[in-house]
Structure 1
Amino acid sequence: MSVAMDYVPPSVEKPLGALPVVRDYLARLDVAGTIDRLAPMRDKANRATHGEVIAALVANRLTSPTPLLHVERWARDWAVEEMFGLAPDVLNDDRLGRALDALAPVCEAVMGSVGTAAITTFDLDISRIHSVMTSISLHGAYPEAEEDYATPRYGHPKDRRPDLKQVRTGLAVTGDGGIPLVHRAYDGGAGEAAKTARALKLGRARADLDTLTRTAGSHHLYRTEAAVKARLTLLATKHRVTHYLVATTNVDPDTGRPDLTWHFDAAALDAEATTDGWYTLPHEIGPGEVRARYKGQEVVGRRYGAFKSPLAVEPMFLHSNQRIHALIHVICLALLIFCLIERQARQGAGPDGKISGLYAGRPARPTGALILGTLSKLRLVPAQGSRPAYIPRPPHLHQHLLDILGVGPTRPDYFDRQPARVMHRNPMRKRRG
C-alpha cells in the first residue's frame, strides 16, 4: 500500500503591518472621498482616482516611507492590492506625481475638511491649540518655482544646512492628544514668519506715511492740522504701527500750513522682535494655569519629531515646488492618522496608562511609533488558485491592539476582491491514494 500526498505549497507571505488600521482610519476621515470631491478626475480612463492614489501614498508613509520612485515596488511587496484594491503598477511615480499636482491647489481645503471630520468622528477637544514652525531642507535648485506654492529659498534651517534651500511649515495641534488639525507650508528664506510679516507691515505703512508727509498742507483733504492728525491716527491703526510710530505735527506761523515729521522707534521695534515666537496666553489666567499650558506646548514639538523621523519628510527629492507643497500636506495627513491611532490606544490602555508587552515584552505607554512598529509584524498570505487570501492568526498583543483601535483585519470590506480568512497555520491539503 502506498500513500501519495498532493501538497500545494503556500504562497510567499506579504507584509501586512498596519495597513488594515490605516485603511480604516482613512475611511473614517473620508480622505479619498474628500480629495475626489475637491479634485475630480478629468480622464475617466484612469484605473484609480486622485483620492485613492493619495490614500495609498498616506499608507506608504505610515508603514514603509519611501521616495515616490519606489512606491510601486512597495505596493508590489506589501499587501497593498488586497487592502486598497489598487494594482501595484497603478502607483508608478508618474501617476503619483499627477495626483500630487491635482492635490496641490486644494491642499488647505482638504486639510480643513479632514480636520473637521477628525474633530467630529473622534470627539476631539479643540479648546486649546499649540502651534510652532520648522524648516524642511530640500535637495535641488528649483529655478522656476510656482508662485502659488511654498517657494524653496536659502535661509537659516533648523538642521544647520545653509547650503540647502528650504521651505517652512507651520503646524497647529490640539491639547487633546496632540492631533494636528492645521498645517501650512511657507516660503523658505525667512528667519521667522513674524519678522517677515512685520517687514511687510512697516513697508506698507511707510509708503502711506510718506504720502501724507508730502501732501500735508497742500492737498485739499489735509489743509488743517486736525485733518492731518486724523489721517495719521487712521494710518497707524490700519497698519498696526501705533506702538512704535513717533510723529509730530506743526503749523507754519507765516503760511498757516500744517506739516508732518515721523519715524519708527527702533527700540520699540527691537523690543517687539524679542517676543517673536513666544507662546501667548490670556492675561486673566493664574500662574498655575500658565505653567500647565506651557508644559502642554511640548506636544507640538513631539509631533514635528514624528513628522521628520518615522514619516520621513526628509530627504525630499522632487523637481517641482508644487509637488513639494502637496507632498508636505500628504505627510501631514499621515501624521494626523498617526496621532489619532496613538490617542485611541492611550484611551484604551490599562488603568496605569500602559499596554502589557508593548515594549520589549514589558508594559509601556503606547506611542504611535510603538503601535505601528508592533503591528508591522502582521502578514498576509495572498490568494492562490481557488484558495482565498488569508491572514495568519495575530498574536495576543497584536489582536489586543486591533481591538483597542476598533479594527478587525478580517472584516469582508477589507478585501473587496478576495475575501480573507484568519487561520492558525498555513493551509495544506492531503489526499490518500
Structure 2
Amino acid sequence: MEKRLGALPVVSEFTRRLDLAGIVDAVCPGGASAHVTHGQVIEALVANRLTAPAPLVRVGDWARTWAVEEVFGIEAGLLNDDRLARALDAIAPHLEHIAGTVGARAIGEFGIDVSRLHWDMTSMSVHGDYPVEGQDEDFPVINYGHPKDRRVDLKQVQAGLAVTADGGIPLHARVFDGPAAEVSQVVGAMKDLRTMAGTRDFLMVADSKLVSYANLTALLASGVHFVAPAPAAQVKDQVYAALDLDRATAVNWVPDRDADKPPERRERYRVLEDTHTLKGPRKKDPELTVRRILVHSTAVAAGQQAARDKRLAKAGEDLGKLAAAAGGRHYKTREKIVARIGVITARRRVTSCLRWSITENERGTPTLTWSFDQDVLDGEAAVDGWYALLTSIPADQADPGQVLIHYKGQGAVERRYHDFKGPLAVAPVFVQHNRRVAALIQVICLALLVFCLIERQVRRALGPEQTMAGLYPDNRRVRPTGRMIFYHLGELTLRIGHITDPPTVQITRGVQLHLLDLLGTDIGQTRPGLDGGAGPAGLGVRAAASVAQQTGRLGRGRDGGDVRAGEGVGEGGTRAGAEPGAVPLLRHDLQTRRGDGVVLGVVVGEDDERACGGLQRVAVGELRVRGGELGGAPGAELVDRVVVDLDLPLGGLGGGQHLASGEVASGGEIVDHGRAQQVDGGGQGRGS
C-alpha cells in the first residue's frame, strides 16, 4: 500500500518551528474530550493548501490518500467538514492575534530582517448571493467593491499583505470588507506592523493609496518611514515637462529581468529631487512637507510612446473611415458625424490632440477634415517616462537612487499575491458564512507564510548565487521558486509496511534529495500519536536504482545475488558468495547516517558528486560489511572503489540521463535503466 507523501514532512517541520498549533490552541482551547485540537486542524488545513488544495468537504479524502496520519498523527476520519468548520468558527474572533503572533514567531525563529516591509491589498471575487443582512457584522462583509479582476458583477472580499524585502515573507495579513477603501487601511496595517516588529525600526513601502494627509500624518507621528508613488493628480504634467533630463543623476541599478541583456537594451533610471507639500482638509491643519524623488525610466518612456502611437494609429484609421463615409447614407448630417467623433475620441483617448472641422457644400453635404496637433503630442512626449516617489527617509540615510531601489522591491508583494491566487488556490471559496470566509482566507495566508519560508530556506542554503540545476528538464540553473519546490517534492511517496517492515519513503529523483538536504528536513521523523504516545514508526528512506521494484536492490555481484541496504564490501570487493573483484553497489541508511554527511544514501565518487547537480556534502565515514565493520576516514581511496547507480535524473547530465551514465569507478558494474554492463576490474569506465 502506498500513500502520497509529497512535502508533508517539510510542512510539518516548518509549522512545528512556527508553533502554529500551539499558538492556535492557546487562544482556542478545545474540550478535554476532543480527539484533535483546533490547532491540529488548522495545521492540517495549512498542509492541505500547500500540497493539494481542496474544499472542506474533500479534505478528509485528501487525508486518506496522503500520509497525513503518518506525518501529523491525525486520522483522516477526524478531518470531516463539520470539524473543519468548527475550527474556523473557533479561530474567527482571534484572527489578528493569531496572525500577529505567528508573524512575530517567524521573525525570531527564522531570523527575518524586517527593516523594509511592502504593503498592498488585493481582492477575491466570490460566487454566491451572500446577502448583507445575513452576514455577521463583526467580521469582514462580502459585498460589491472595486475588484482587481474587473468582475464587477461579483461580490468580493479583500486581503492585505505586508511582505519583507528579505525573501518576500508575508509576515502580516488581514482580511477586509469587500467595499473597504485601500487608503483607509494603511494606518491599521502600520500599527499592526509596529506591534509585530517591536523595537525594530522599519520602512513601509506601498502604492499610491498610502498617500493621503491622514495617513502621512499618522506615519510621521509614529516615526515609521515610508516610500510611495505620488498620485498622478498631485503632480501636474507641467512639473515633468519643465525637468531637464541631462541634469538628472543616473542610478546604478539593473532590474533582474535585464541582467542578461546587453547594456544598451537594459532599462535605465535617472533621478532628481525636490519637495512635495500636502495640505490638510481644514485650513488650520499644518502643511506636511516630504521629499519628492522624480524618476525617469527609459522602459516606461518607451512603453508610453508605443501606447500613444497605437492609439493614434487606431484613431486615424477610425477617422479615415468616417471622413470617407461623411455625406453617405449613414452620416448624412453634421450631427451624426459629431456624435461619431465623440465616440472615437473617447475610445481612443485622443481628445486633447485631435483637431477637426466639418464643412458643407451648396447641397448641404458634410465633409470632415481632421488632424493631430503636433505641439500637443510633443508636450505629451516630453513627460514620457517620468513619475514621482514621496518619502520621509532623511537624505543622510538614503539618496534619491536608494529610495528608488527601495520602492522597486514592491514587486515582491505582487508575486506573493500570484502565489496566493495560484498554487494555494484562494478562490473559489466554498463556505457560506462570512466569518468562515475570513477565517479560511487567514488560514491560506498562514499557508502562504510557510510556502515563502520554504522558498527562502532553499535559496539561502544555495549560497549567494541562489541557483540550482535539476528543476527543469534541460538542467539550466535557475532560482528555485516555491512552486517548483513543491512540484518536485510532491512526487514523494510512502510505502506502508508492517510490523517487521517499517514504512519507507520512495525517492525517485536526485533533485528531491537535493531539496530535502537544502531544507535540512529529516523525512524519517514523524509526529507523536493522538494519545501523546510514540506515534507511527520512523520512516525508512529509499533512494535506489529501479525504485519501481521496491525490493531494496541496488545492484548485483558476479554471482547475481542482491545487494541490499545495510550491506557493503570488504577488502578487494569480496562479498559472501561473490567472486573476488566484483564490487557491488553500496547503500547507506540515510536516516542514521545523515549527521555524518551521507545525503544520497549511497557512496559516490568525486565525478559522480559533480553530476549530482551541486550536492557537495557527500562523504563516507564507515562501510558496514557482513560480519563486522570496516572503519575509514572520508577519502577518495574508499570512494573510488565503489560504482554508483541511482537510476535518477540528476543535474549536470541533461534530461533523460542518469548518474550511472557519468564517470564511474573501477571494478564494478553499471546498471542503467535496469540493464547491467560489466566494467573490467582495474580500469576506468563510462556508462553508455
- Pair 1:182-2:182 in alignment: no
- Pair 1:410-2:524 in alignment: yes
Task: Verify the 8 A CA contact 1:111 1:182 in the aligned structure 2.
Answer: yes
User: 1:304-339: per-residue Cα shift (whole Å, max 9, x none)?
Assistant: 110111100011121111111111110010000111
Task: Verify the 8 A CA contact 1:357 1:364 in the aligned structure 2.
Answer: no
**CA apart distance, 1:394:** 5.2
Q: Residues 57 and 413 of structure 1: is their aligned pair in 2 closer, same or farther, counting only changes over 3 Å?
A: closer
Q: Residues 60 and 352 of structure 1: is their aligned pair in 2 closer, same or farther, counting only changes over 3 Å?
A: same
Structure 2 counterpart SS, 1:353: coil
C-alpha distance in structure 2 between counterparts of 1:279 and 1:189, whole Å: 27
**CA apart distance, 1:112:** 1.1
Higher helix share: 1
**Bigger-Rg structure (1/2):** 2
Point out where structure 1 has 5 or more consecutive residues left out of the alignment.
1-10, 203-240, 248-277
Q: Residues 191 and 111 of structure 1: is their aligned pair in 2 closer, same or farther, counting only changes over 3 Å?
A: closer
Structure 2 counterpart SS, 1:181: strand
**CA apart distance, 1:117:** 1.1
Identity %: 49
Structure 1 counterpart SS, 2:53: coil
Map 1:381-400; keep pairs closer than 5 Å.
381-384=495-498, 386-393=500-507, 395-400=509-514
User: Letter of the aligned partner of 2:170 in structure 1?
Assistant: P
Map 1:184-223; keep pairs closer than 5 Å.
184-194=174-184
User: 1:342-375: per-residue Cα shift (whole Å, max 9, x none)?
Assistant: 1111111255321121222332111111111111
User: 1:92-131: per-residue Cα shift (whole Å, max 9, x none)?
Assistant: 1110000000111111111111111111111111011100
Within the candidate set 454, 478, 482, 1:364 is matched to 478
Map 1:323-334; keep pairs closer than 5 Å.
323-334=436-447
User: Letter of the aligned partner of 2:73 in structure 1?
Assistant: G
Counterpart position of 2:413? 300
Structure 2 counterpart SS, 1:245: coil
User: 1:47-79: per-residue Cα shift (whole Å, max 9, x none)?
Assistant: 100000000000000000111111111111111
Task: Verify the 8 A CA contact 1:381 1:389 in the aligned structure 2.
Answer: yes
Task: Verify the 8 A CA contact 2:17 2:109 in the aligned structure 1.
Answer: yes
**What is the root-mean-square deviation in Å for CA atoms of aligned residues?**
2.6
C-alpha distance in structure 2 between counterparts of 1:111 and 1:164, whole Å: 28
- Pair 1:421-2:544 in alignment: no
- Pair 1:14-2:128 in alignment: no
**CA apart distance, 1:399:** 1.2
C-alpha distance in structure 2 between counterparts of 1:166 and 1:75, whole Å: 30
User: 1:220-260: per-residue Cα shift (whole Å, max 9, x none)?
Assistant: xxxxxxxxxxxxxxxxxxxxx9722248xxxxxxxxxxxxx
Map 1:20-419; keep pairs closer than 5 Å.
20-41=9-30, 43-143=31-131, 144-194=134-184, 243-246=280-283, 280-282=391-393, 284=395, 285-360=398-473, 361-384=475-498, 386-393=500-507, 395-411=509-525, 413=527, 416-419=535-538
Point out where structure 2 has 5 or more consecutive residues left out of the alignment.
188-208, 215-277, 285-388, 529-533, 554-688
User: Letter of the aligned partner of 2:280 in structure 1?
Assistant: H
Task: Verify the 8 A CA contact 1:279 1:294 in the aligned structure 2.
Answer: no
Q: Residues 280 and 141 of structure 1: is their aligned pair in 2 closer, same or farther, counting only changes over 3 Å?
A: farther
Q: Residues 195 and 59 of structure 1: is their aligned pair in 2 closer, same or farther, counting only changes over 3 Å?
A: closer
User: 1:377-418: per-residue Cα shift (whole Å, max 9, x none)?
Assistant: 111012346432111245322111111111010135588223
**Of 143-152 and 47-56, the range deviating more from structure 2:** 143-152
**Of 405-414 and 87-96, the range deviating more from structure 2:** 405-414
User: 1:181-233: per-residue Cα shift (whole Å, max 9, x none)?
Assistant: 111111112353439999xx99xxxxxxxxxxxxxxxxxxxxxxxxxxxxxxx
Question: Highest relative contact order (Cα 8 Å, sep 6+), 1 or 2?
Answer: 1
Task: Verify the 8 A CA contact 2:421 2:427 in the aligned structure 1.
Answer: yes
C-alpha distance in structure 2 between counterparts of 1:55 and 1:151, whole Å: 26
Task: Verify the 8 A CA contact 1:18 1:63 in the aligned structure 2.
Answer: yes
Structure 1 counterpart SS, 2:9: helix
C-alpha distance in structure 2 between counterparts of 1:421 and 1:112, whole Å: 37
Q: TM-score, normalised by structure 1?
A: 0.75
User: Letter of the aligned partner of 2:161 in structure 1?
Assistant: L
User: Letter of the aligned partner of 2:147 in structure 1?
Assistant: P
Counterpart position of 2:318? none
Task: Verify the 8 A CA contact 1:140 1:317 in the aligned structure 2.
Answer: no
Counterpart position of 1:269? none
Count of residue pairs brought into register by the alignment: 349
Q: Residues 412 and 51 of structure 1: is their aligned pair in 2 closer, same or farther, counting only changes over 3 Å?
A: closer
Q: Residues 52 and 350 of structure 1: is their aligned pair in 2 closer, same or farther, counting only changes over 3 Å?
A: same
User: Letter of the aligned partner of 2:86 in structure 1?
Assistant: R
